[in-house]
Amino acid sequence: MTNRFIPFTCGKIKDRVLVLSILLSVFSLDIRSQQFENSDLDGTAFSYSSLPDGWEEVQVGDPACFATNANIGDTPDLTNASNPGPENGVVGIAHSGNTFICGLRMNGPTVTFHEGIQQTLGGLVIGESYAIEFFQAVV
């Protein structure tokens, strides 16, 4: 936690209590608030296997990934209204921001696809509760 100095001149005890209350509120928000980088999943959807800025794919070998072939089965696609593949139906309109992730979960004849993205967060506290909200469409 970073120490912050907020200059404040006051002449009454009531003012000092208010300032202390505000400072404690700010510090408690710092401790319990975590943010994903680029939560709108924005980036440049120029080809298959593109990723949003600040995110990476969940790779083959990760316990959460059931893909069987690296660089094919674990490659989600950053998608917008015109890219990366209208001929294959890999296009759409994002719920928020300009792009979204399109991932495949399929057992093919030679490759099992299981595509996802991940990001590492720091500063989480054991025993605290955190909420993650996202939108998902299955097509």
pLDDT in tens, 58-117: 999 999 999 998 888 899 999 999 999 899 888 999 988 999 999 989 999 999 999 999
Across the chain, what does the average pLDDT equal? 78
What pLDDT sits at residue 46? 86
Output the pTM of the full model: 0.68
92 or 22, greater pLDDT: 92
Chain centroid, CA 81 distance in Å: 21
DSSP at 74: T
Q: pLDDT at residue 24 above 50? A: no
Q: Which two tokens stand for residue 18?
A: 């208010």
Residue 28's pLDDT is what? 43
